[in-house]
Structure 1
């Protein structure tokens, strides 16, 4: 399987530009003309030669050792998820996501899971790695009422004007959405659906292009979300995201209010 040329190099260039010299104990100096760190600074701090690091950023060296990757992660101040992503970029090629043609029982399983959603009293949805909502129960349908692009949460975050009235911090939603897509996409190759979504958002949203170029990584888990619902008012909900072990193409998202809270009453 052929890896997209330059994926590791592109990541290193993007992340190097985000680290300020003072964050790693360097004096910026008045003559600095590049955002972030210079290549030779990263090389020195990581304990490799400048030539070797230049080869990494040029895509001429694609298989650095684990020790070098860990050193680069330290210099570039990567968190756990982004460090894991860096290792994946330099690791063995991985298979593509499974498709409906590969899984004869996918549709049957999806129908069963969609039926399960209706037994859950809290808002619940089935979501793909490219943030397509493939099924939702009635409480989730009511929660997202009034958002025309709610069938894909990435399109909703960047292309739906109504989202600025629905969430408390639209910019934080945008950052989290892009980082979630980056984590879900992983190293190339990508699914056709992921490619189509990224190309569409890159074409239609300047903000998406800016955030996508940062290579931030965020894996969905538990979080507290604040919504401004047109009928129910302000809601504070715990979001729980669970990947289904037998079906990594799907995640179960559930929103839970604190028992006895105003948000529980509003739901």
Structure 2
């Protein structure tokens, strides 16, 4: 029997932790990274230990190249060092009767209005029918890790869960302090803590295709999933899952 591993509670995104994890991913020692970047072992160690939290842009450029960061990870690196301004706080704005009617009208496709923290403010019956248990949980991220049916419904559960966590990491740096409660609530999940420790970063969905299982009809579906932010109420976003043909078994 495989022994479970109890991961530590997730920590807030930190520059040093991110650099150390990406260095290990590249199978580099601190000495290797120091040699490639041209900085001392002590300086690299101070960055990873959090003693050097605001290195210069030149240092970050060298780290980004040495660690072969993709564009998303590179932007995340600079933001962690405070060299990329955080996005402005989204203005408040609730949903209207027109919003509700519009979402309901999109049936039989799956539609919902979410806030910036993935709370479901309103969804049509098709959305709640497919994502069983989400109406009770009320939050997409919590549903992934706290609702038993989520793993049966999301046919690519691990990839979707990792995407959502990487997106959360990105948002926590863009909007400091706004997502701490989300992190705390999700931390009760051992699986969440394990994925969080991987330090992955995503700025949104990488593909529009989403594979789900319709538990009511015992059939797999391919959805075209899109998320659009509201241009006038930046804390709201519309999720639309266009139902397509049954996914291959």
User: What is residue 156 of structure 1 aligned with on the other side?
Assistant: 143
The CA RMSD measured in Å over matched residues stands at 2.7
Task: Specify which of 30, 45, 49 is matched with residue 54 of structure 1.
Answer: 45
Give me the whole-angstrom Cα distance separating, in 2, the residues matched to 1:6 and 1:120.
38
Gaps of 5+ in 2: 1-10
User: What is residue 138 of structure 1 aligned with on the other side?
Assistant: 125
Q: CA deviation at 1:135?
A: 1.6
Q: CA deviation at 1:156?
A: 1.3
User: What is residue 182 of structure 2 aligned with on the other side?
Assistant: 197
Look up the SS of the partner of 2:235 in the other structure.
strand
Compute the TM-score of the two structures, normalised by the length of structure 2.
0.80
Indicate conservation of the 8 Å contact 2:103/2:124, yes or no: yes
Give me the whole-angstrom Cα distance separating, in 2, the residues matched to 1:85 and 1:186.
8
- The 5-angstrom pairing of residues 1-267 of structure 1 reads 7-20=14-27, 37-92=28-83, 94=86, 97-98=89-90, 103=92, 106-107=93-94, 109=95, 111-121=97-107, 122-147=109-134, 149-186=136-173, 189-191=176-178, 194-202=179-187, 204-221=188-205, 222-232=207-217, 233-258=219-244, 261-262=245-246
- Going from structure 1 to structure 2, the CA distance change for 1:150 and 1:235 (only over 3 Å counts) comes to farther
- Going from structure 1 to structure 2, the CA distance change for 1:155 and 1:189 (only over 3 Å counts) comes to same
Deviates more, 1:218-227 or 1:157-166: 218-227
Q: CA deviation at 1:149?
A: 5.0
Of structures 1 and 2, the one scoring higher in RCO (CA 8 A, sep 6+) is 2
Indicate conservation of the 8 Å contact 2:230/2:236, yes or no: yes
Give me the whole-angstrom Cα distance separating, in 2, the residues matched to 1:224 and 1:80.
22
Indicate conservation of the 8 Å contact 1:176/1:218, yes or no: yes
Indicate conservation of the 8 Å contact 1:149/1:156, yes or no: no
Give me the whole-angstrom Cα distance separating, in 1, the residues matched to 2:154 and 2:216.
14
Aligned residues: 233
Gaps of 5+ in 1: 21-36
Q: CA deviation at 1:98?
A: 4.1
Give me the whole-angstrom Cα distance separating, in 2, the residues matched to 1:197 and 1:243.
20
Indicate conservation of the 8 Å contact 2:30/2:45, yes or no: yes
Give me the whole-angstrom Cα distance separating, in 1, the residues matched to 2:221 and 2:132.
14
Indicate conservation of the 8 Å contact 1:96/1:190, yes or no: no
Q: CA deviation at 1:147?
A: 5.0
Q: CA deviation at 1:257?
A: 3.4
